[in-house]
Amino acid sequence: MYKITKHDKIIVPVALMGIIIFVCSLIDIYLGIGTLIGGVAVFFGWPALKELHAPFEGTKEEPPSFLDTTVLQGNFHIPHNLPIPYAVLDIRGHILMYNQKFAEVFSDIEDAKQSIDKLLKQSGAGETTLIQVAEKYFEGALDHCDVIEENGAVGTVLTMTLVDATKKQQLAKLLEDQQTVVSMIFLDNYEEVVDNLDESRWPILSALIDRKLNQLAQDVDGVIRKLEKDRYFFLVKKGKLSQLKEKKFDILNDIREISVGDHIPVTISMGIGIGGNSLDVAMQNAKAAIDLALGRGGDQVVVKEGESFVFYGGKAGEMGRNARIRARVKADALWELIGESSGILVMGHKNGDLDSMGSCMGICAIARAMDKRCNIVMDEVGVGIRRLWDKMLASGNYQNLTIKTSDALKMMDAKTLVIIVDTHRKSMVESPQVLEVAKRIVLFDHHRKSTDAIDQAVLVYHEAYASSTAELITEMIQHIGKKVKLSNIEADALLAGITVDTKNFCVKTGAITFEAAAFLRRNGADSIRVRLLFQNDMDAYKAKASAVKDAELFMGNIAISVCPANVENSTLTAAQAADELMNVTGIKASFVCCKVGDTVYISARSFGEINVQRIMERLGGGGHLTVSGAQLQGVVLEEAKEKIRHAIQEYLKEEA
Ligand SMILES: [Mn+2]
């Protein structure tokens, strides 16, 4: 190939000029002389002109680069025999030269561009960056290298080296895939299923379940062992777990479809723990995962790796199991803990509602039966309980019942029992300071378990199947028996708690809910008085109506709306509007936002087909399959709506 040298740079223009002058003088001798003078002037004047411009060129941003490879080749010797892929680039990443090995990596040298761009962006001095070329992996590195040109100018080039890391990557992947994943499988409702099933059919049902689970283990090359009639232990390699994830654990559906006659569907919960190279950690994670799966109502898979939880399934409603036995056991334990304590502090969630306040009052009634001092920690009277609060003050018996955080902290000692009701989330309790100082904690809640749960409680009664915390507390009062004397206001408050959380005994209402209501009625509750505790004022009613009117439909059957800001209790109004929207034919879920101060509160409702808990969890909230909420800081309502739409889309994508 012919290469232009410095010598050519003079010869070619001079020769051209000569021809032009010759042609010009053929046409007219004076034109020829003129052109000659012009040519001579340009020839001698050019270097001077160039020099004049030189300072400007020098101030350009980019340093000189060696696009002229001849210059480079004269000064820079590429080590052709280097056993690794090697290339020299100009400062902008254009390839100037490369060795044979480099050519072997990139069959088309244009393909190297992508890798070079990645290295330019990510590689610091002395660092390597992993790059993938087809099936292979390389640790790529760039280095700066000064090159001196003939005229003494110093320029910079980049050297690029690639070290084959394919084996290393393969081994790392293999090592990760080989990790043992521990998993526990529980049948959620075995007792209830066999209760309603002819005895002769039990073995068939059991065998069918075993077969499905064994098939699952076989498909992914795992092992499964039955520990008890409704418990299994399942081991699988991490590499194979992805197969199950890809199918979104359709084993949940397979099991639910098993039918050997007239019985409720069997559902399973699966807790999967990944623990890196530690089996112990994997086991701990599996336990935490199965706890969460059951706490969230069962019929789902929870995978725990490190601190992260991933959820699959969770479509069926909550299952109530062995409720009566549990309530009795918990009531006994509570009785003993109260007996040992020096005093009791009880608190619900922030912005308390009738369920949390009713539950607090129920606990106070239990404590009173044991002559223990009991106070409700409450810094502000929530709007949802204002009517109840007025009645309490009017009765004259409850002036000293509630105390502020500062006073609570003063009276706390090591034997103070702190009872949390109607929430299990650290961030949601009325007074996080009291929770922090508390040495002995008891927890009563009915919300589906979320990840920031209070974990140091000595007694937990957390039943996602229960309609309300007031129902759980009432159940325990029933078990403790005649020792507990409820006042009319306390009975009203507990019944109001159940009424508000069940939407007038519509949702999540089981036989136990009615039994609890009947018990409260016998002990002085009055449904008309309870009804009055809910009465809305006119402004709130109008706000609710406006939220319903302004609702927009998203994806055809999901209602999204906002609640006007001018009402006193807009969070409650938003929740009521979300409930109201569910009465509209065709609506499968509703989301209503309202803004209080700098916070946007979201109330979400559904009938269960759409899991609003999972959607709200994406926005940092939580709750139940059908009733959930979230709070967003520092956003305007439009942004909040957009975030909801996005979360719904993400959720539906995951479900698809
Ligand atoms: Mn509640």
Output 174 or 538, whichever has higher pLDDT.
Answer: 174
Q: What is the pLDDT of residues 449-477, one digit of tens each?
A: 777 788 888 888 888 778 999 999 999 99
Q: Same domain, yes or no, for 76 and 132?
A: yes
Protein residues with C-beta less than 5 angstroms from the ion ligand 1:
355, 422, 468, 501
Q: Which of 439, 420, 441, 440 lies closest to 431, judged by CA? A: 420
Q: Same domain, yes or no, for 293 and 167?
A: no
Distance of CA 447 from the midpoint of ligand 1 (Å): 7
Beta bridge partners of 140: 129, 162
Distance of CA 441 from the midpoint of ligand 1 (Å): 19
Residue showing tokens 């040495």: 439
Q: Same domain, yes or no, for 260 and 369?
A: no
pLDDT tier, 125 (very low <50, low <70, confident <90, very high otherwise): confident
Q: Same domain, yes or no, for 435 and 397?
A: yes
The reply to whether 296 falls in a domain is yes
pLDDT of residue 627: 85
pLDDT of residue 451: 73
Rounded to a whole number of angstroms, the CA Rg of the chain reads: 38
Angle of helix 386-395 relative to helix 488-501, nearest 10 degrees?
170
Please check the confidence at residue 143 and state whether its pLDDT lies above 80. Answer: yes
Helix H segments across 341-431?
354-369, 386-395, 405-411
Distance of CA 468 from the midpoint of ligand 1 (Å): 5
Distance of CA 559 from the midpoint of ligand 1 (Å): 24
Q: Same domain, yes or no, for 525 and 555?
A: no
pLDDT of residue 44: 57
Distance of CA 503 from the midpoint of ligand 1 (Å): 11
Final residue of a structural domain among 483, 506, 532: 532
Helix H segments across 440-524?
469-480, 488-501, 511-522
Output 515 or 58, whichever has higher pLDDT.
Answer: 515
pLDDT of residue 558: 95
Q: What is the pLDDT of residues 529-562, one digit of tens each?
A: 998 888 777 778 888 899 999 999 999 899 999 9
Distance of CA 266 from the midpoint of ligand 1 (Å): 28
The reply to whether 398 falls in a domain is yes
Residue 28 has which token pair? 């007219």
Distance of CA 356 from the midpoint of ligand 1 (Å): 6
Angle of helix 488-501 relative to helix 354-369, nearest 10 degrees?
140
CATH number for position 104: 3.30.450
Distance of CA 402 from the midpoint of ligand 1 (Å): 19
Distance of CA 355 from the midpoint of ligand 1 (Å): 5
CATH number for position 599: 3.10.310.30
Please check the confidence at residue 586 and state whether its pLDDT lies above 50. Answer: yes
pLDDT tier, 96 (very low <50, low <70, confident <90, very high otherwise): confident
Average the pLDDT over each of 196-205, 368-377, 430-439, 492-501 and give the range with the smallest value: 196-205
Beta bridge partners of 554: 558
Distance of CA 471 from the midpoint of ligand 1 (Å): 9
Output 94 or 345, whichever has higher pLDDT.
Answer: 345
The reply to whether 405 falls in a domain is yes
Residue 460 backbone class (left: φ over 0; alpha: ψ -120 to 50; beta: rest): beta
Distance of CA 512 from the midpoint of ligand 1 (Å): 16
Output 281 or 384, whichever has higher pLDDT.
Answer: 281
Please check the confidence at residue 195 and state whether its pLDDT lies above 70. Answer: yes
Q: Same domain, yes or no, for 80 and 111?
A: yes
pLDDT of residue 407: 93
The reply to whether 331 falls in a domain is no
Give the mean model confidence (pLDDT) for residues 479-484.
86
Strand order in the sheet with 86-89: 95-98, 86-89, 154-164, 136-148, 129-133
Distance of CA 278 from the midpoint of ligand 1 (Å): 39
Yes or no: say if 535 and 387 are a contact pair by the CB < 8 Å rule.
yes
Answer yes or no: pTM beyond 0.85.
Answer: no
| Residue range(s) defining the domain that contains residue 79 | 69-172
Q: What is the pLDDT of residues 514-535, one digit of tens each?
A: 989 999 999 999 999 998 888 7
Q: Same domain, yes or no, for 118 and 33?
A: no
CATH number for position 297: 3.30.70.270
The reply to whether 329 falls in a domain is no
Give the mean model confidence (pLDDT) for residues 333-339.
87
Distance of CA 444 from the midpoint of ligand 1 (Å): 10
Q: What is the enclosing helix (H) or strand (E) of 254? A: helix 251-256
Q: Mean pLDDT over all residues of the chain?
A: 84
Q: What is the pLDDT of residues 619-631, one digit of tens each?
A: 998 888 888 999 9
Q: What is the DSSP string of 260-292?
A: SSS-PPP-EEEEEEE-TT-HHHHHHHHHHHHHH
Distance of CA 86 from the midpoint of ligand 1 (Å): 67
Instruction: Please count the structural domains in the chain.
Output: 5
Residue 324 has which token pair? 């009566």
* Residues above pLDDT 90, as percent of the chain: 42
Give the mean model confidence (pLDDT) for residues 374-393.
89
pLDDT of residue 449: 76
Give the mean model confidence (pLDDT) for residues 189-216.
88
**CA-based torsion, 427, 432, 437, 439: positive or negative:** negative
pLDDT of residue 76: 61
Final residue of a structural domain among 485, 505, 532: 532
pLDDT tier, 39 (very low <50, low <70, confident <90, very high otherwise): low
* Residues above pLDDT 70, as percent of the chain: 85
Q: Same domain, yes or no, for 162 and 193?
A: no
pLDDT of residue 217: 95
C-alpha–C-alpha distance, residues 220 and 213, integer Å:
11
Q: Same domain, yes or no, for 491 and 406?
A: yes
Please check the confidence at residue 609 and state whether its pLDDT lies above 70. Answer: yes
Q: Same domain, yes or no, for 361 and 466?
A: yes
SS3 19: helix
Distance of CA 419 from the midpoint of ligand 1 (Å): 15
Distance of CA 293 from the midpoint of ligand 1 (Å): 20
Q: In 114-164, where do the E strands start and end?
A: 129-133, 136-148, 154-164
pLDDT of residue 5: 45
Q: Same domain, yes or no, for 149 and 207?
A: no
Q: What is the enclosing helix (H) or strand (E) of 484? A: none
The reply to whether 334 falls in a domain is no
Amino acid identity for residue 541 in this structure: Y
The reply to whether 321 falls in a domain is no
Please check the confidence at residue 154 and state whether its pLDDT lies above 80. Answer: no
Give the mean model confidence (pLDDT) for residues 314-327.
56
C-alpha–C-alpha distance, residues 85 and 106, integer Å:
10
pLDDT of residue 118: 87
Helix H segments across 370-430?
386-395, 405-411
Q: Which residues contact 250 (CB under 8 A, 6 or more apart)?
A: none
C-alpha–C-alpha distance, residues 117 and 140, integer Å:
11
Yes or no: say if 99 and 86 are a contact pair by the CB < 8 Å rule.
yes
C-alpha–C-alpha distance, residues 161 and 256, integer Å:
57
Residue 319 backbone class (left: φ over 0; alpha: ψ -120 to 50; beta: rest): beta
Distance of CA 623 from the midpoint of ligand 1 (Å): 10
Please check the confidence at residue 321 and state whether its pLDDT lies above 50. Answer: no
Distance of CA 281 from the midpoint of ligand 1 (Å): 34
Give the mean model confidence (pLDDT) for residues 119-125.
79
Q: Same domain, yes or no, for 356 and 495?
A: yes
C-alpha–C-alpha distance, residues 577 and 547, integer Å:
6
pLDDT of residue 58: 36
Amino acid identity for residue 301 in this structure: V
pLDDT tier, 10 (very low <50, low <70, confident <90, very high otherwise): low
The reply to whether 330 falls in a domain is no
Final residue of a structural domain among 118, 146, 172: 172
pLDDT tier, 266 (very low <50, low <70, confident <90, very high otherwise): confident
Distance of CA 420 from the midpoint of ligand 1 (Å): 12
